[in-house]
Amino acid sequence: MDFDFTDDQEMLRDTVRRWVERGYDFERRRAIVKAGGFSREAWQEIADLGICGLQVPEAQGGLGLGPVDAMVVLEELGRGLVLEPYAAVALVATSVLKAGHEAAAAPRLQHIAQGKEIVVLAHEERHSRYRLAHVETTAHGSGHAWRLSGRKIAVPAGGAANAFIVPARIGGDVDDATGVGLFLVSPGQPGVEVHPYPTQDGASGADLVLKEAGAIELIAPGAAFAALELAADTGIAALCAEAVGAMDRLVAITVEYMNTRKQFGVAIASFQALRHRIADVKMQLELARSMSYYASLKLGEEPAARRRALAQAKVQLGTSMRFVGQQCIQLHGGIGVTDEYAASHYFKRLTVIEMTFGDTLFQLGEVSRRMQTTAGVFA
Amino acid sequence: MDLAFTPEEQAFREQIRAWVRDNLPKDISDKVRNSIHLTRDDLQRWAKILGQKGWHGWAWPKQFGGPGWNAIQKHLFEEETALAGAPRVIPFGPVMVAPVIMAFGTPEQQKRFLPGIASGEVWWSQGYSEPGSGSDLASLKTKAERRGDKYIVNGQKTWTTLGQYGDWIFCLVRTSNEGKPQTGISFLLIDMKSPGITVRPIITMEGEREVNEVWFDNVEVPADQLIGEENKGWTYAKHLLAHERTNIADVNRAKRELERLKRVAEAEGVYGDGRFRDQIALLEVDVVALEMMVLRVLSAEKSGKQSLDVAGLLKIRGSEIQQRYTELMMLAAGPAAVPLDREAIAAGWQPGELDGAFVAPLASTYFNMRKTTIYGGSNEVQRNIVAQTVLGS
């Protein structure tokens, strides 16, 4: 039992932190938001850090590293509210591709590792409400020739993607996990429409509309749903780490404000009502950090234990993000609600994180359903 | 980073588990598992069993007769005993006064007092709070005047937990009114059989005598029972607080009680009720998060690499969780928690069996646990401390 980071992990953290601090300041981020929420140049800079292949196997030119390394990277990207879809590509899509048919997946993985391609999972639908098995998009065909029809929403950086990983239904009713396959779809072909839009956190999302669109099978039904669940849990762990980084920074900004802002002739940090509030904020931050570690450390468990742990983590993070976000705005007073000041942007990102890969109530349902007679970290 | 304990740590856990299985009396663990009142004899029996093994002072270094375990081993011992249904060791002797005697006592004092604590024979009480000094402990007034080779003690201590059983009491007393309140306090060890000491019960709302008033009327205390230097007692008391590590969160007991809550809810037919079940699920998340925070502290202690200043957070969260599980257990029992158990049973009420005992003490435990957010530095005082650390001002 050990929560220390290795020297390599500390170096990785330094590398990412330096880039965020020097290369991704608030003004640059604001310009990227204005330009649609995604910057090709910034993505290239992330690729140049050598981290796009973090979890791509070495055989495909990646680093073959694990969940804790990813956690370290995401904490730092979260600190700087980086808009580019690092986790979506380098962790979530990569997770699916590693389980996919080699002929289809290997070139994609190589290109991800080289920073040449943006591949994202397009799984959310208007009526799925976080249920991974609820898939209305259909697929028909065989072998290499498949046709997909349906609509996916809130696809991260959809407008910039070189390929989409799409869950589609081959058989069964609308909630049947065993009837879902995973397919690769390329944009720019007949039957594929991408409708990009800005999202609440300043990033770029898109709807993906498929009308008899050509697709390659990546994982057949049966194995596909297990891979989809693992990808979603990988995404949850990444979001937890990103949220910890973002909250850490937001709390630091708030503490600085409390110590400098004066009212009634004194720093507002001297008021006990506010001191107790910041203590409660610190509590939620440390609980979140603890559960973010838990999320990453449990990713390698067998599916049932992994799902239970990741749901627990997302419940804690959801609670923490909402409390820390809301209270840090409140502690700022008027300046907290302005677009000009950084705090509101942290709050918005934390809010969107809660609504990605299952919100707090959804994951609480998962925890509740999956409870056992024993309890605790090692139960 | 690794969540798993090492094979050596696992082997250590197994060793503790086997020993507890063979040595924890079943009548005692049955009471603990069902929140039944433990007598002095129950508590002393377990203390002496631990003492014989050399584990009553389980956190002690080897030089004072302890096992010399590291932070992880101590945690594993606490976890295995808690999960097996052992009573919480009464902390005043082995956890609170012993480290002070070790750090600041003379070799004679160490020889005189530590063996009785290690063996579990001598029951210690704590004399800190006074009627006028709760959160503002440094304002305490109980006076000790030096006369020759004695101190004469006058005043009153209160909230003395299980003071009716105490053989000895360690007290913070005022020896000077010069300077800041903290600088005139001394740390005295007092034999509770001394003439002039009166222990009076305080009955708390659940009807138990768990705390007491202790009165001192011209009590003579030999000067060789002063710890360290006169007027330095506040420093020693702070040292003691610094030694209350992760223990304070009591997460192992929380795990045991959460499991019990599930059994109670099942037996009472509300475990399948989504509204109730979700409340348990939320508590389960809270308990896992608390346990992770405790494990982070232990890991930091083990590696010495990063310091983690979260003792205040552990106290706040641990106490809130203790209150929450007792609350949910009571609510699970529902109307069967309403009758005042002992009197109702004496009057012929039949509560029915639940988990080997009856349901009614659940409400008593809920009432009893209101203390947890008040004692040991109220949670509001803890928030002040946390805020000080976070704000740096």
Closest CB from B6, B282, B292 relative to A293: B292
pLDDT digits (tens, 9 = 90+) for B199-257: 999 999 999 999 999 999 999 999 999 999 999 999 999 887 765 556 778 999 999 99
Chain B nearest CA to A296, separation (Å): 10
Average pLDDT, chain B: 93
Say how many domains are in chain B: 3
For the beta carbon of residue B43, count every other beta carbon within 10 angstroms: 19
Q: Which A residues in the span 242-271 are in contact with B, Cβ-Cβ below 8 Å? A: 251, 255, 258-259, 267, 269-270
Task: Tell me how far apart the alpha carbons of residues A68 and A62 are, in angstroms, rounded to a whole number.
Answer: 16
Q: Which of A151, A185, A219 is the last residue of a domain?
A: A219
Nearest CA-CA partner of A112 in A41, A47, A48? A47
Inform me whether the pLDDT recorded for B122 exceeds 80: yes
Contact residues on chain A for B393, CB-CB shorter than 8 A: 259, 267, 269-270
Q: pLDDT band at residue B90, thresholds of 50, 70 and 90?
A: very high
Which residue of chain B comes nearest to A275, CA vs CA?
B387
Give the model's pLDDT for residue B46. 98
What percentage of chain B carries pLDDT values higher than 90?
80
What phi and psi, each to the nearest 5 degrees, are found at residue A163?
-160, 150
Tokens 């004194």 label which residue?
A: A266
Q: Give the tokens for residue B120.
A: 């579990």
Between chains, do A1 and B299 touch, taking CB under 8 Å as contact?
Answer: yes
Kindly tell me the sign of the dihedral angle through the C-alpha atoms of B127, B128, B134, B138.
positive
Quote the ipTM score.
0.97
Task: Tell me how far apart the alpha carbons of residues A52 and A113 are, in angstroms, rounded to a whole number.
Answer: 5
Q: Which of A197, A219, A241 is the last residue of a domain?
A: A219
Contact B376, B316 (CB under 8 A): no
Residue B357 lies in a domain: yes
Task: Tell me how far apart the alpha carbons of residues B261 and B263 are, in angstroms, rounded to a whole number.
Answer: 5
- Residue numbers of the domain that contains B258: 245-391
CATH code of the domain in which A177 resides: 2.40.110.10
pLDDT digits (tens, 9 = 90+) for B282-321: 999 999 999 999 999 989 888 887 677 788 999 999 999 9
Q: pLDDT band at residue A143, thresholds of 50, 70 and 90?
A: confident
CATH code of the domain in which A270 resides: 1.20.140.10
Q: Please give the C-alpha separations between residue B192 and each of A244, B57, B93, B203, in angstroms, as whole numbers.
A: 52, 22, 14, 21
Q: Check whether residue A259 and residue A320 sit in a common domain.
A: yes
Contact A50, A16 (CB under 8 A): no
Which residue of chain A comes nearest to B385, CA vs CA?
A279
Nearest CA-CA partner of A279 in B137, B248, B315? B315
A247, A368, A369, A372, best to mutate vs chain B, most B CBs in 10 Å: A368
Burial of B244 per CB tally in 10 Å (0-12, 13-18, 19+): middle
Q: pLDDT band at residue B194, thresholds of 50, 70 and 90?
A: very high
Residue range B85-111: mean pLDDT, rounded: 96
- β-pair partners for A169: A138, A180
Distance between start and end Cα atoms, chain B: 33
Q: Check whether residue B264 and residue B360 sit in a common domain.
A: yes
Closest CB from A251, A371, A379 relative to B281: A371
Task: Tell me how far apart the alpha carbons of residues A103 and A109 are, in angstroms, rounded to a whole number.
Answer: 11
Which residue of chain A comes nearest to B261, CA vs CA?
A373
Nearest CA-CA partner of B138 in B241, B249, B248? B241
Most confident of A332-346, B250-264, B330-344: A332-346
pLDDT digits (tens, 9 = 90+) for B334-379: 888 888 877 887 888 776 666 555 566 789 899 999 999 999 889 9
- Residue numbers of the domain that contains A326: 226-369
DSSP A185: E
pLDDT digits (tens, 9 = 90+) for A259-274: 999 999 999 999 999 9
Contact residues on chain B for A275, CB-CB shorter than 8 A: 383-384, 387, 391
Q: Check whether residue A268 and residue A295 sit in a common domain.
A: yes
Interchain CB contact of B301 with A (< 8 Å): no
Residue A2 lies in a domain: no
Inform me whether the pLDDT recorded for A127 exceeds 60: yes
Residue B48 lies in a domain: yes
Chain B nearest CA to A254, separation (Å): 10
Q: pLDDT band at residue A27, thresholds of 50, 70 and 90?
A: very high
Give the model's pLDDT for residue B248. 78
Give the model's pLDDT for residue B355. 54
Task: Tell me how far apart the alpha carbons of residues B140 and B187 are, in angstroms, rounded to a whole number.
Answer: 12
For the beta carbon of residue B17, count every other beta carbon within 10 angstroms: 16
Which residue of chain B comes nearest to A362, CA vs CA?
B278
Q: Give the tokens for residue B203.
A: 């009955």
The total number of residues shown for chain A amounts to 379
Residue A256 lies in a domain: yes
Higher local confidence (pLDDT), B180 or B345: B180
pLDDT digits (tens, 9 = 90+) for A216-240: 999 999 999 999 999 999 999 999 9
Chain A nearest CA to B253, separation (Å): 11
Which residue of chain A comes nearest to B7, CA vs CA?
A1
